[in-house]
Amino acid sequence: MTSAPVFGSPVAPYERACPPPRLIIFDYDGVVADSEILNNRALADVLTQAGLPTTVDDVITRYMGKRWIDFRDEIGQRLPEADLDQLLADWTSLCRQRAETDLKAVPGVDAFVQSLGDLRAASPPPASRTGSPSAWITWACRDRWARSSAQPST
């Protein structure tokens, strides 16, 4: 029985035929950060405060993995007097507020991105493909983590 070749070993000649990647596309939630539960908790709190008692389990069952536009009408039917634009603004604000302290990178993602070396400056750079709004991704990946990684550790 032969074992599988190990990259970097002389038994892997195909390694030379595989150039390093020029593009890496990351999913966001669960790969870069795990904002899903943070956002679910915030939505439960906003809906409850608006008069629709909602648990995190309710949010997970009804809305998890969906965008606001996908369940906006359902919320409107369940809360007919609600200002849906204001609910969205409140939810977005609460998510961002909580993310300041609670949103963390998935363990290992920072080390992996650092290991990309020159690829990080490549054109096109590593990208994220997600259903999350681009403003959220920009804030979380560039603005928030760039600030925190630039600060000296204590």
Question: In this structure, how many other beta carbons lie within 10 angstroms of the beta carbon of residue 45?
Answer: 17
Residue 34 CA: distances (Å) to CA of 4, 30, 37: 34, 5, 7
The confidence score (pLDDT) of residue 10 equals 54
Task: Pick the closest to residue 125 from 23, 27, 20, 21 (CA basis).
Answer: 23
The confidence score (pLDDT) of residue 43 equals 97
Burial of 104 (C-beta count, 10 Å sphere; 0-12/13-18/19+): middle
Helical ranges in 63-105 per DSSP H? 68-78, 84-102
Q: How far apart are the C-alpha atoms of 108 and 120, rounded to whole Å?
A: 16
The confidence score (pLDDT) of residue 75 equals 96
pLDDT band at 88 (very low <50, low <70, confident <90, very high): very high
**56 close to 4: Cβ distance less than 8 angstroms:** no
Tokens found for residue 54 = 């909602």
- Between 24 and 104, the more confident residue is 104
Does 61 score more than 70 pLDDT?
A: yes
Does 154 score more than 50 pLDDT?
A: no
- pTM reported for the whole predicted model: 0.66
